[in-house]
Amino acid sequence: MTPRSGLFRTIASRIAAVSVLLLAVACSPRQGTVEGVASIDDAPAAGAEIQAFVKAGAERSGTPFATGAAREDGFFSLPLPPGSYHLVARRTVRAEGRDRTYKAEYSGNPVRVSGGETVKGISFALVEMSSGGFVPRRGTGVTGAVVIDGKPAKGVYVYAYPDNVGTVRGPSYAAFARAGEDGRFRIVLREGAFRIVAREKGGENETGAMSSSGKTGGDEGIPVRLEPGSTRDLGRIALRSPDEGKRRRRAAGGGQAAPAAEIRGAAVREDGSPAPGVYVMAYADHRMIGRPFAISGRTGTDGAFILKFPKPGKYFLGARGEYGGPVSPGEPVGMFDGSPDHGVLVRDGERLEGIRIRVAEKW
């Protein structure tokens, strides 16, 4: 069987599956309903989109079969034809000058819906999505307190980096939290190994390089290993001024003290001219969702960009005018088209040059 015939056969099977489902909907005398509540940090997630998917896995990154919205009090009611569904909730929140995407998957998936019946008690506790679509597990994570000179450090950012990403710097953290008035913090994670660091970056955003007045705590990361449903208290994390020489070297290295690999190239417009003012992003996930593994600064008049990585691997490259939230009308957006999956393999110690990413305004 040729790849082309395989593709046609796959498309035909999907069309047939949808046809059968639509026929079932048309023939069913009564629909069923799923009901429940959606929340973020124990507050109602008003306006959260409730999505019902027929399939699990990667299919949940596509178009849902049906959607609904949570009310002001977080309650939702979604009518569905009889069948089995995977339920997901999503909401984008504008906070601290950025759009943040929150998500939750119902722990009881798949949900069986019968005609004329209501499935009640569906509960979503939405958490912020991260690199590679990382979705934390409620009840799993770390807590602690951040201090400066023994006093609570209000507003300090605390980051959790997966232990296997090879760094505790840059945008590849899995999740973060901000310390409250008393310096206390809680990061919702999931099972696995992480390294925790705290930083007073000198700005109002959790991303970007630390200023010369910034402070750091946790050194190269406090190691933690979490089991499902476990929360570990890290005690006090004391902040201190970083070594200025190391800070400058990291800043020159794109946030990495000693990058293992890098990619250099240019963002260009459709006519081939340089595309200034865009960010180039590298994702570990081929779907290019969530937080990027690495991100360049805004391109200059020559469109040039540099991406530096703490470890080699295959990365999927895209570019856009902003680095958070949905695409805005007129925003330049593009992907690396030098390979079918938009991916680039970079080896240990390699500097890969000449990568071009074509962008176009989206309307």
| 334: helix, strand or coil | strand
What was the pLDDT predicted at 174? 83
Task: Give 158 or 164, the one with higher predicted confidence.
Answer: 158
In the predicted structure, residue 165 carries a pLDDT above the cut 50: yes
What was the pLDDT predicted at 248? 61
Q: Which amino acid is at 202?
A: G
Residue for token digits 């030098």? 338
pLDDT in tens, 230-276: 999 999 999 988 766 665 655 555 555 567 889 999 999 999 999 99
What was the pLDDT predicted at 3? 39
In the predicted structure, residue 277 carries a pLDDT above the cut 70: yes
In the predicted structure, residue 25 carries a pLDDT above the cut 50: no
pLDDT in tens, 63-99: 788 999 999 999 999 999 999 999 999 888 876 556 6
CA-to-CA distance for 59 and 48, rounded, in angstroms?
20
Q: What is the DSSP code string of 79-141? A: EE-SEEEEEEEEEEEEETTEEEEEEEE-TTPSEEE-TT-EEEEEEEEEEE--GGG----TT-E
Of 58, 77, 75, the residue nearest 66 (C-alpha): 77
In the predicted structure, residue 178 carries a pLDDT above the cut 70: yes
